[in-house]
């Protein structure tokens, strides 16, 4: 397991040494450095308590719990510079509670954090469940700054009651500020793959205000496959 280092001045040898760290070793190092008065970036393993993100279970209860846990971690560590790390396996996501248009949200005021996995062939986020007939995006960036995702695969499974004009996107980077004052900028993604979906795999949309400095690198787009969809006319 490697530490997420979006941008680094470390040498290749130093990065290789970092890649040998386990989460436990990284946390112990963070604790020792903190005791010494050295500030470090938090490394948060979302498979551990209190988050308990579970892979390999598509049941509604587990998908809803995964969704809540990831969103709570994002808001909890929203401005700390934390790296939130998901386990290996298929991690199912429901629509977030409250009739909202997303599963995972990097929202207003969130800054300087990222969400990563063990690699696009190892950690798969699967948007799966019953929609409400409107927009439903797997990951939404909206009025946040310097945030990103990496080392993940995103796709949709079975979407019941999707948006009828297929506005169910996997990655949506937007700015929905109604008064035009919000800022969505310095958003990054790397080592990502995208699978089947009922909308756009990647959507960039400045709604009432612009989005700025979006950096996406090393992407694989595999749009083949069928998402089962169902709605009443």
**Which tokens in the block code for residue 26?**
């990284």
Retrieve residue 152's tokens. Answer: 């993940």
Distance separating alpha carbons of residues 124 and 111, to the nearest angstrom: 24
Q: What is the pLDDT of residue 82?
A: 93
What strand order describes the sheet that includes 102-106?
102-106, 137-142, 171-175, 202-206
Give the pLDDT confidence score for residue 151 in this predicted structure. 97
Among residues 2, 6, 36, 12, the alpha carbon closest in space to that of 149 is found at: 6
- For the chain, give me the number of helices (H) and strands (E)? 3, 13
Residue pLDDT, tens place only, 2-41: 444 445 555 655 555 555 556 666 667 667 766 766 556 6
Contact call for residues 198 and 229 (beta carbons, < 8 A): yes
CA Rg, the chain, in Å? 18
Q: Give me the residues paired with residue 56 across strands.
A: none
Q: What is the pLDDT of residues 82-106, one digit of tens each?
A: 999 999 999 999 999 887 899 999 9
Q: What is the pLDDT of residue 43?
A: 87
| pLDDT tens profile 197-225 | 888 899 998 866 788 999 999 999 987 76
Across 22-26, 146-150, 179-183, least confident range: 22-26
Q: Kindly report the average pLDDT of the chain as a whole number.
A: 85
Residues 4-42: b if buried by 16+ CB within 10 A, e if exposed: beeeeeeeeeeeeeeeebeeeebbeebeeeeeeeeeebe
Q: What is the pLDDT of residue 154?
A: 97
CA quadruple 69, 55, 152, 168: dihedral, nearest 10: -70
**Per-residue pLDDT, 15:** 57
* Stated pTM of the model: 0.80
For the ranges 60-74, 158-172, 201-215, the one whose mean pLDDT is highest? 60-74
């Amino acid at each position: 397991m490697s530490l997420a280092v979006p941008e680094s001045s470390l040498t290749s040898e130093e990065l290789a040494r970092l890649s040998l760290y386990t989460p436990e070793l990284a946390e112990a190092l963070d604790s020792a450095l903190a005791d010494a008065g050295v500030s470090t970036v938090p490394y948060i393993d979302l498979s551990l308590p209190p988050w308990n993100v579970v892979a390999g279970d598509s049941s509604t209860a587990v998908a809803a719990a995964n969704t809540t846990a990831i969103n709570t971690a994002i808001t909890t560590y929203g401005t700390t510079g934390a790296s939130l790390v998901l386990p290996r396996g298929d991690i199912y996501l429901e629509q977030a509670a409250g009739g909202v248009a997303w599963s995972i949200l990097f929202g207003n005021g969130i800054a300087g954090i990222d969400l990563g996995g063990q690699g696009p062939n190892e950690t798969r986020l699967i948007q799966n469940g019953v929609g409400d007939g409107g927009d439903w995006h797997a990951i939404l960036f909206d009025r946040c700054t310097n945030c990103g995702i990496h080392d993940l695969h995103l796709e949709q499974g079975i979407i019941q009651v999707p948006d009828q004009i297929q506005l169910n996107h996997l990655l949506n980077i937007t700015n929905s500020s109604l008064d035009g004052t919000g800022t969505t900028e310095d958003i990054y993604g790397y080592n990502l793959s995208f699978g089947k979906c009922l909308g756009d795999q990647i959507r960039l949309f400045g709604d009432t205000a612009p989005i700025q400095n979006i950096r996406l690198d090393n992407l694989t787009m595999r749009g083949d496959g069928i998402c089962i969809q169902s709605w009443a006319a």
